[in-house]
Amino acid sequence: MRPVWQAFFGTSVTLLGVLALAMPFVEPGTATFAVTLLSAAMLGVVGLGSAAFLHYDWDPFEELFDGTTGGHQ
């Protein structure tokens, strides 16, 4: 699952960088500005979330794919 979190993190950082480069050309108060801010917020959440998952080495499907029955007989 680690490569998936790395892909999410890398993609979100890359897109945030592109968005940051576009910010000087977006006029405040327009619909484009609002979409830019919403996109930045969404990418920030994905980036921080995937960074946290990478830091804590979280695998949400570990119990499904490790061969155990999850406590059920």
| Three state DSSP letters for the chain | CHHHHHHHHHHHHHHHHHHHHHHHHCCCCCHHHHHHHHHHHHHHHHHHHHHHHHHHCCCCCHHHHCCCCCCCC
Domain that holds residue 15: 2-59
Is 0.85 surpassed by the pTM of this model? no
Query: With bands split at pLDDT 50, 70 and 90, how would you rate the model's confidence at 73?
Result: very low
| 67: in domain | no
Provide the domain count of the chain. Answer: 1
CB 40 within 8 A of CB 12: no
| 70: in domain | no
| 29: in domain | yes
Residue-wise pLDDT for 2-20, tens only, equals: 899 999 999 999 999 999 9
For residue 64, pLDDT over 90 is answered with: no
